[in-house]
Structure 1
Amino acid sequence: MAFEPPRRLVRALGETAPQGDAWLAGLADTARRAVERHGLTVERVQVPGGRGSLVVLVRTAGGVPAVLKLAPPRARPESERAALAHWNGLGAVRLLEDDGPAPEEGVLLLERLHPDVSVRSLAEAKALLEAAGTLRRLWVEPPGGHPFETVAGRTGRQAEAMRAGAADLPEAAPLIDAALAARGELLAEPPEQRLLHGTFRQSKVLAGDRVPWLAVGPDPVVGEHAFDLARLVRDRVEDLIAQPSGASTTRRRVKRLAESLEVDQDRLRGWTLFRAVESGVRAHRVGRKADAELLLEFAGWL
């Protein structure tokens, strides 16, 4: 079978590696080796798929539906593997790897969920409720001597990129300054250190068989709950921007999510501001100007 990467993946990789991508060039060979190694039968490549990995629907040698996921090193797939192993199916998709030879780097064999049915398909209020409930189950103590990046470390790199990109966005300078100031205040006294999903949103929660909803695609990080919840606040940002009441709806969403998950409302607002501005600056840097405008307008409401 030809393992043709979806256009969405090719475009996303092109944003971060405009001069070419060795991983993408070798992707078909990597996929074939993984299929042979695990004795898999390929059904199809999932389209449109994600922005950071190739997802292939397969069946194991025993006929069990599964997913073969292949991701480049910069997507931190080994960190994802460690987090999924630690959660062991609690709130998240389960690894199907056995105790045989060490798995190939960047290749994960996962239980099959329903890839075309995410929480995002539900009405907004119900979607937020189900997503928040799934997220709560992921917030566990990290393992001792864990390999995961911290919120301080990850946002430190992001803050440097934001400062570097500020010159190209002079109109957003007040927002960038506010976001950086908020980060500094939030990191001064973090309330807890838990294993977080890292990139959680409604589309990262898929329908399952053993439980109704399970999270996929973590970029795990260790830090406070509010950081993880912040990305969920801006879900369906296009719909929020299109509403005359978008700003007030956003503020109500912050309040409702903070109360339902027992997170400090001001801390959630602060991390939502930082993450929205960081995403907006990054989108502008890679040429997604429309996305940048949406995100920065949203951030201005906070």
Structure 2
Amino acid sequence: MAFEPPQRLVRALGGDGGWLGRLPGIVTEAVDRRKLDVERIVSPGGRSSVVLLVRQPDGTPAALKLTPPAAAADRERAALAAWSGGGAARLLDGGTGGETADEGRGPDADDGGELLLERLHPEVSLRSLPEAKALLEAAGTVRRLWVEPPPGHRFETVAARTARQSEALRAAGGPLAGAALAAREELLAEEPEALLLHGNFRQGKVLAGDRAPWLAVGPEPVVGERAYELARLARDRVEDLIAAAAGAAAARRRVKRLADSLDVDRDRLRGWTLFRAVESGTRALAEGRRTEAEHALEFAGWL
């Protein structure tokens, strides 16, 4: 089959000739092995995977997701298996303990990961709703994802993930980075809970479905507290906040509303929102995404 990687993915991976160069062959092998009929590639798609809308041999619609080796598809698979369709897209290849997406693929780990998922509607996310309605639906969806991690799990913890991220903040320096690092240290001094989290939950990661109105996709699973999870959601539609005359006040109100609606401590949510906004802005700046970086850092300054 003719295949051209989405340009958004090519730009994000820097034109990597490794996995990207092999991707047409990886797609062909995965489709042929599963005897899938490809309808189309989801475009513009994400920055770390390619998703194809397919039909299985019995005609059932599905989505085939292929990720580079660094994307840790095994952890995404484990999280989806743990949720078993509760609040998230259902894993169709058996999850842990059954036939996995990578069985039969051969020994080349450089081929990355492969997931066969329940078909949702990629063109309809919570961002298509008015903001108040979107936040309400997001709260109802994310609540279903907060479960005890399975015994013997290998998910990263919030402490470990943010420790890695903190290195770039220390190198960047400045008042905002210092405030973010101080907030992290204070928050980790007492962690109130250790739940399985989506890890990158925001409105664009919640798609319309047939089995349920809204289901989450694209987890970057991590184990920690709910306030960490909500910190990314609090920054959604930041461009609208920045364009508003009272954006700073609206941002602070949103943090309070989210905390209250999901019974999360306001101060802990504010602290993680600060850390995640500064970390995201610093990373975007380093990767040349200047507008995104400026928005995230301005939002952080409001908190």
Report the equivalent of 2:58.
62
Counterpart CA distance in 1 for 2:271 and 2:22 is: 41
Give the alignment partner of residue 53 of structure 1, picking from 35, 45, 49: 49
Question: Does residue 74 of the first structure (1) align with residue 70 of the second (2)?
Answer: yes
Structure 1 residue 160 displacement after superposition: 0.6
Could you tell which deviates more after superposition, 26-35 or 231-240? 26-35
Displacement after TM superposition at 1:165 (Å): 2.8
Name the aligned partner's letter for residue 96 of structure 1.
L
3-state SS in 2 of match to 1:68:
strand
Amino acid in structure 1 at the alignment position of 2:285: H
User: Counterpart of 1:260?
Assistant: 261
Equivalent residue, structure 2, for 1:133 = 140
Change (3 A) 1:113 1:102: closer
Aligned to 2:12: 12
Q: Secondary structure at the match of 2:10?
A: helix
Tell whether 2:49 aligns with 1:42.
no
Say whether the 8 Å CA contact 1:13–1:21 is kept in structure 2: no
Q: CA deviation at 1:21?
A: 4.3
Give 1:158 deviation, angstroms. Answer: 0.1
Deviation larger for 23-32 or 88-97: 23-32
Q: Distance in 1 between matches of 2:121 and 2:101?
A: 28
Contact 2:41 2:52 survives alignment (8 Å): yes
Q: CA deviation at 1:288?
A: 1.4
Alignment of 1:1-302 (within 5 A): 1-14=1-14, 20-98=16-94, 99-100=98-99, 103=102, 104=105, 105-166=112-173, 173-302=174-303
Helix, strand or coil for the counterpart of 2:52? strand
The answer on whether the counterparts of 2:40 and 2:53 sit within 8 Å (CA) in structure 1 is yes
Question: Taking structure 2 as the reference length, what is the TM-score of the superposition?
Answer: 0.94
Percent identity, please: 68
SS in 1 for 2:13: helix
Q: Distance in 2 between matches of 1:165 and 1:60?
A: 48
Distance of aligned partners of 1:56 and 1:185 in 2 relative to their CA distance in 1, 3 Å threshold: same
User: Aligned with 1:158: secondary structure?
Assistant: helix
Unaligned runs of 5+ in 2: 106-111
Q: 1:36 to 1:248 in 2, by over 3 A?
A: same
| Cα distance in structure 2, aligned partners of 1:101 and 1:147 | 17
Give the whole-Å Cα distance in 1 for the aligned partners of 2:290 and 2:20. 25
For 2:165 and 2:69, the matched residues in 1 are separated by: 18
**Distance between the aligned counterparts of 2:184 and 2:159, measured in 1?**
9
Give the aligned residue type for 2:228. Answer: F
Deviation track 1:178-222 (CA, whole Å, cap 9, x = no partner) reads: 000000000110110000000010000000111100000000000
Aligned residues: 292
Contact 1:46–1:55 at 8 Å: present in 2 too? yes
Per-residue deviation, residues 261-281 of structure 1 (Å, max 9, x unmatched): 000000000000000000111
Cα separation, 2, equivalents of 1:245 and 1:102? 48
CA distance in 2: counterparts of 1:163 and 1:282, whole angstroms: 12
Which letter does structure 1 place at the counterpart of 2:117?
L
Q: Which moved more, 1:203-212 or 1:102-111?
A: 102-111
Conserved? CA contact 1:165–1:285, under 8 Å: no
* Cα pair 2:93 2:101 within 8 Å, conserved: no
Quick one: distance in 1 between partners of 2:5 and 2:75?
23
Distance 2:126 2:290 in 1: 27
Change over 3 Å in CA distance of 1:209–1:101 after alignment to 2: closer
User: Which deviates more from structure 2 when the two are superposed, residues 96-105 or residues 30-39?
Assistant: 96-105
The DSSP-based 3-state class of the residue aligned with 1:26 is: helix
Equivalent residue letter for 2:123: D
TM-score (norm 1): 0.94
Query: Once the 2 structures are TM-superposed, how far is the Cα of residue 37 of structure 1 from its aligned partner?
Result: 1.3
- Which residue type is aligned with residue 135 of structure 1? V
Gaps of 5+ in 1: 167-172
Q: In the alignment, residue 62 of structure 1 is paired with which amino acid?
A: D
